[in-house]
Structure formats: structure tokens, C-alpha cells
A and B are shown apart, each in its own frame.
Chain A
Amino acid sequence: MSEDFQRKIFDFFAKNKIENFVGVPDSTLKHFIARGLEQKKILIATREEEAIGIAAGMTLSKSLSLVFMQNAGFANSISTITSLIQLYSIPIIFLIGWRGYLPSDAPEHTKIGKIQPSLLKLIGLRSKIIMEKNWQNNCRWALQQLRHNRSCALIIRRLSNE
């Protein structure tokens, strides 16, 4: 997704009461993260589980949070999502860069990229793929999920092999 749209997505969430952006960097999301760093609103954690823990603490303090990561990090996080976020119903938006969407992506992404949609379904985390044509609707959907105390994921596909 282009730089312009990723920056718009960051601004949209920042304007809509998301106060915390915690995560582990991903090249697919680099423009989103760059925008957040410019605004001094990004906290980079050492691992995805740590990021989720910090965001959970912030949300328990009534400050809404988004956690960003690559799908490899999402795989790291499954037990944390099921035994913390879902167990206590702590509403958080996950923004996940999807490597391995293209079968021609780098080899380390192929297997986890292929099962990414099934992983989301298996753990029952509602998700939507965001693209340039639908990002506003899907980001609004994510905010609605938070209002219902539900977590959800927004996925950005990696569409080039650069």
C-alpha cells in the first residue's frame, strides 16, 4: 500500500481516539510507522508479545491501543492473544503486514503467509483486509469492534517482492 494511504491510516486512528501505537516494525507497514514516529506516538517493543502486553496494560487504563506487527510476529503472538487479549476481552486493534501473500515472496514467508487467513479464523480473531479503495470503511469497522469490547485485525497485503 502506498505511502500516502498508510500515512492517512495513521492519522485516521490518531484522530479517532487511538492513543497508543505499540509494535514491532514491518517493512510492509513502514510508512504507517514512519508517520507515527514523526508524531512521536510510536512505541517499539522487543517482541510482539511484549507489545501486546504493554498495549493490554494501556487499554486496562482506559487508553485505546493499536498493535502493529508482521504476520511472522502474529504467529509468535497466538498464545498471548488467546490467553490474555481474548480471555479477558481486552479490545485492541491489530495491524498486520501480510508477507507471503504472494507465493513468490521470500522463502521464510511462504508457509506462514499461506496459512495466515486460516490462523486468524482458527483463533476467532475478526479481520478485514485493507486496501486503498476500502481503508476508511474497514478502519471505521475496527473502531466499532473496540466499542463492543472486541479485538480485531486489519491486514495489509505485501504486493511486491522488493
Chain B
Amino acid sequence: MNRKEAIQIISDRIGDEIIVSANGFIGRDLFEINDKENNFYMIGSMGLSSSIGLGIALKKPKKRVYIFDGDGNILMNLGSLATIGYLKPRNFFHFIFDNNAHESTGGQPTVSNSIKIQKIAKVTGYKIFEVRNHTELQKVLTKIKNMSGPTMIHIKIERNSKSSKRVKHDPIHIRDRFMRSIK
């Protein structure tokens, strides 16, 4: 399964929920597959999608917040796992698309294959799921439907340097429509 296929499946299943996407190819894929007003495309500030999502989840406890994160991104902000595990937001769902690479910068390796990001999350207090293929992803998406967070869904994906087009919305427009949509 590649990143775009995984993002397609998740988008089809979670419906019209809040999504915060990491910078790089993840946000571009989301933009191409499922552009909507309550997507916050983080195009700069590497590593911070989980933290931005945490801020939203704490202030909008009745809405589910989905984070589309990458291995490179979360490795830059492992501290956020400690804060999230401590605060335990029940509406926080954290997808990690792990291709063991910084795909957006040319496919340089990350250390994710040698460590287990999901186990780090588990000891901070997350519930965790591991996914390696379409079938497992579909099963986990059914399971988390009636579950509370913080939950991490770690998805092993293939490398795929084919990128979607850049997010074409102006950042101020991304902000305005996001703020309008979440009320």
C-alpha cells in the first residue's frame, strides 16, 4: 500500500471530520484526494501537525481530530507524544504514514525501521494499532469508529516518490475556511 492509497481509504471512511496534515507529500495527497474546509494543511513548521491537532482537540472536545503525520515529521517532535499521552485527549486520532524516509526531500532514510514509534506512543498512554495492508487498515478504521483517543494508527507504507500537486490554497484562506468550518 502506498501513501496515497492509504489516504484515499481513510478519507473515504472517516467522512467530514477535522484533519490536520503534516507538511510534504502527505498534505499534497490529502489536498488532491479530499480537499475540504476543515482540513488544516500545515505547509511549513515541520513536525508540528500533532501539536496543532492537540490544541484543536483540547478546545473542541466534541469533535474528532485526525492527524495525518509522517515518520520524519513525528521524529522531529517526539516530545509531543509525551504531552499528548499526559493530557489524553479522547478525540485525538494520530495516523503515522511510515515509509522509513523523508520522501518529500528526496527519499533520505529515517530511523523509523530500527525503532518502534508506535511503542513510544504506547508508553506515553496512547492506544495503538499497527497496519501493513488494505485489509488491516479497513479493520482498524472500523474498530476506532467507536473508540476514544488518544489513538495512534501506525501504517507501514511503500516508498512512492510520485507526488501530488502542491496545495494551491493561500495560507490565509486555509486558516479562514478552517476557522469558519469548525465554529
A50 contacts B48, CB within 8 Å? yes
On whether the beta carbons of A84 and B45 are closer than 8 Å, the reply is yes
Contact yes or no, A49 B45, CB < 8 A = yes
A47-B79, A54-B52 known; A61 vs B44 contact (CB < 8 Å): no
Q: Does A80 contact B (CB under 8 A)?
A: yes
Q: Which residues of chain B from 61 to 80 have any CB-CB distance to chain A below 8 Å in the complex? A: 77, 79-80
A89 and B42 in contact, given A57-B59, A61-B56 (Cβ under 8 angstroms) = no
Q: How far is the CB of B14 from chain A (nearest CB, A)?
A: 19
- Give the complex CA separation of A45 and B178 in angstroms: 24
- C-beta contact mask, A18-56 vs B, less than 8 Å → 1, else 0? 001000000000000000000000010111011011111
Tell me the total A-B contact number using a CB cutoff of 8 A: 102
For residue A90, which residues in chain B have a CB less than 8 angstroms away from its CB?
A: 175
Chain A residues positioned under 8 Å from B58 (CB to CB): 54, 57-58
Q: A60-B40, A90-B175 are in contact. Are A80 and B48 (CB under 8 A)?
A: yes
Interface size on A, residues (CB 8 A): 29
**Interface bracket on B:** 20 to 34
Instruction: Identify the A interface with B (CB < 8 A).
Output: 20, 43, 45-47, 49-50, 52-63, 65, 79-80, 82-84, 87-90
For window 82-102 of B, CB contacts with A under 8 Å fall at: 82-83, 87
**How far is A90 from B44 in the complex, measured between Cα atoms in Å?**
13
The reply to whether B51 and A57 contact each other, CB–CB distance below 8 Å, is yes
Chain A CB within 8 A of B53 CB:
yes
Q: Give 4 nearest A-B pairs by CB, closest first.
A: A57-B55, A83-B44, A53-B51, A46-B79
Taking the complex as formed, is B109 at the interface, i.e. its CB lies under 8 A from any CB of chain A? no
Q: Which residues of B contact A87 (CB under 8 A)?
A: 43-44, 171
Which one, B49, B57, B179, contacts A62 given CB within 8 A? B179
